Structure 1
C-alpha cells in the first residue's frame, strides 16, 4: 500500500479525501495535517467520520510519503511547498488554483500537469505533480470540450452555472451562511470568474480559435453540486452531436452522456459527470452536472492519484448518488 498525506485536512475537500481514502484498498493515510486542530480527532471536524477512524490531526509532516494532497486555500500551496521539501519520489496533487494555468505550472523545478483525465489522461499517468482542476472549470469543460476537439466552437458560447454553498469553503461568509443562502439565488463574478482562464487554456489546446465564452456563475440554495448549461450555434443534427460526444467520451470512466434530461441529484455524492444534449433550431444546448466536492475536487484528485500509480481508475470512487 502507498502512504498518503493530506495537508489542510479540516476543510470540505480534506474531509472528502479522508472519506474516500479510508476505503481505498491501495492507500493508507499516513497523516492529516492541520495547524489549527493538531491533537484533535479528525471526527471533531468531520462528524460524518465518527466511528470510521480514530485518527488525529497533526502539525507534523512526513516528507517521505508516496503522495501528498494539498487542500489549502488559493495561494497557500506555493508558500507551503517553499517551506516543506518532500522526497524526490513523492507525488503531489494540488487542489488549489496555484498551478493550473500554463504560466504557473512550473514551480521550483516541478512541472505541474493539468489534471483533467478526460483531456490529459496520458500526461497524468506519467506525471509526478498534478494541478487539480477547479469545480466550475471541470463542469464547463466536460460540457464543451468535444465541440472544441471537432473544431466546432466557431460562435459565442453562453454558459450559466449554479453551485452549492460548499463551493465557498468551510469558513462562513456573508453569502454562504444559512440565513442568506436559504431560499435565495444570486449571481457573482459575471463574465470574469477565475476559472475562465483554465477553461480557455484547455479549449485552446484542442481548437486554437474558438468563440468567445460568456460565463455567468450563480450561488444556489443547496449545499453540493454544480449544474451548468451552455449553448452555441451548431449546424449539425442532434444525432450527429450525440455521436460526437459519444466518441469523445467512449473511454471515460466517469463522464456519461444521458439521453434523458439530467438533474443534479444524479451526480451528488459521486465522481461522475452527466451530460445531456438538446437541439433547438440551430442552437445546441449542453447541460452538465457534477458534485463540486468530488468530481470538482477530492474525487477527481483520487482519480488522478489512481492514474499516477497505475491503480484501477475507479478504485475508491464507486460511490452512488442518493436520488430520493
Structure 2
C-alpha cells in the first residue's frame, strides 16, 4: 500500500477553539484497539497522541487497520509518552495488570481498561490506583468523579442492561434464565479453532454454560441495586456464525403486566442516550456498528421476556470506553458516538 496519504488530519487535533484531551492507546492492533481508533479519529475533543503496539512499532496504523487508510498517517510506536490525559488499555485479560505493574502511570493520567482485570470489587485496586466499574447506566455519577475506569465485559453489558431496571425496584424475585449469542469478534483477534471461518460459518455451539466469567460482574451490579437478591442467574452463551453483535433473551416469572414492565424500563433509561426500550420486535442489525442497546420488553403468560441487543465491539467494548471518557472529561456523553448502524 502507498505510504503517502493526502488530504487527512495528520495530528487528529480537535478543531480550533474546542476543548480537547490527548489520548494514548496500548494494544492498538487488536479488534478493540481498532474500534477505538475508528471512533477517536473522528472525535471532536480528542487528539490521538500515540498508539502502542510492540509487534507493529514503526508500521502505519492503516497497514494493520486497512480501512483507516486516508483517515490517519499515525504509526504504531513501542514508546509510552506521558504527556497525555487518558490512556486506553486495549489488551488481553491479565495483561492490563501486568502492564501497570511494569509501567507506572502518572496520577494525572486517567486510565480506561478494557480487560477484565479490575472489574470485580475485590480486584479493583492496584498499587495506589482504584478503578470504578464503568457501566454508565449504573454508575454514571461515580464515573464522572473517577480517576480510572474498568470497562464492563460485552456479555455483561448486554445482560445487565436487560436486568438493571428490575433490580432497581427490587423485582428480581426468582431465578433468571438467559441465552445469548455473540459474534466471532468477541473471542479476540488471535486465531483459535472456534474462530476459524470454516468451523464458525454455518455453525452454532454452546460454551461456558452456567459458568461464564461475566456472571461475576453481573452479580455484583445486581446486588448493588438489590442487595437481597440471592437466586441463580442461569446463562447459556452461544458462539454465533457472524462477526459482531450480541443478542440475549432473558426471562423470568413476574407479576408485572406487559405495560407495567415496559414503563419500568422506559423510566429507568429515560436519561440515558444509548439505551432504548420498545415493545416491538428488534433485530441485531439495528445496533451493529453503533453504541446503542435496544431492549424489547414483552409479557407471555406469567413470564417476562426481555430481549437485549448490542454490538460487542462498540457498546460492549470500545464505544462504551469512549462514552466513559466523555463522562470523565465532562464532554457531551454522545460525542464521537453518533454512529450509523449497518442496517443491511
Check the 8 A contact 2:112/2:149 in 1, yes or no: yes
Check the 8 A contact 2:279/2:298 in 1, yes or no: no
Aligned match for 1:201, one of 206, 215, 220? 220
Matched, 1:132 2:136: no
Aligned match for 1:119, one of 129, 133, 138? 138
Listed as ranges, the matches of 1:77-116 within 5 Å are 77-116=96-135
SS at match of 1:296: helix
Show the counterpart of 2:282.
Answer: 262
Show the counterpart of 2:258.
Answer: 238
Check the 8 A contact 1:167/1:293 in 2, yes or no: yes
Check the 8 A contact 2:252/2:304 in 1, yes or no: yes
Show the counterpart of 1:153.
Answer: 172
Matched, 1:252 2:272: yes
Q: Distance in 1 between matches of 2:97 and 2:177?
A: 33
Q: Distance in 1 between matches of 2:175 and 2:107?
A: 45
Show the counterpart of 1:284.
Answer: 304
Kindly report structure 1 stretches of 4+ aligned residues shifted beyond 2 Å: none
Check the 8 A contact 2:294/2:309 in 1, yes or no: yes
User: What is the CA deviation profile of residues 173-224 of structure 1, one whole-angstrom value per residue up to 9, with x for unaligned ones?
Assistant: 0000100000000010000000000000000001123231000010000000
Check the 8 A contact 2:205/2:239 in 1, yes or no: yes
Q: Distance in 1 between matches of 2:123 and 2:150?
A: 10
Check the 8 A contact 1:64/1:86 in 2, yes or no: no
SS at match of 1:172: coil
Aligned match for 1:297, one of 317, 321, 325? 317
Check the 8 A contact 1:63/1:85 in 2, yes or no: no
Q: Distance in 1 between matches of 2:164 and 2:21?
A: 33
Q: Distance in 2 between matches of 1:255 and 1:46?
A: 29
SS at match of 1:77: helix
What's the Cα RMSD here? 0.7
Q: Distance in 1 between matches of 2:46 and 2:72?
A: 14
How many corresponding residue pairs? 324
SS at match of 1:292: coil
Q: Distance in 1 between matches of 2:309 and 2:329?
A: 28
Show the counterpart of 2:70.
Answer: 51
Q: Distance in 2 between matches of 1:86 and 1:27?
A: 20
After TM superposition, the structure 1 stretch with the greater mean CA deviation from structure 2, 88-97 or 42-51, is 42-51
- List gaps (5 residues or longer) in structure 2: 1-19
| Deviation (angstroms), 1:64 | 2.7
Show the counterpart of 1:24.
Answer: 43
User: What is the CA deviation profile of residues 225-265 of structure 1, one whole-angstrom value per residue up to 9, with x for unaligned ones?
Assistant: 00000000110100000111011101011000022111000
Show the counterpart of 1:34.
Answer: 53
Aligned match for 1:227, one of 247, 251, 255? 247
**Normalising by the residue count of structure 1, what TM-score does the alignment of the two structures yield?**
0.99
Q: Distance in 1 between matches of 2:341 and 2:84?
A: 32
Q: Distance in 2 between matches of 1:311 and 1:244?
A: 28
Check the 8 A contact 1:64/1:87 in 2, yes or no: no
SS at match of 1:217: strand
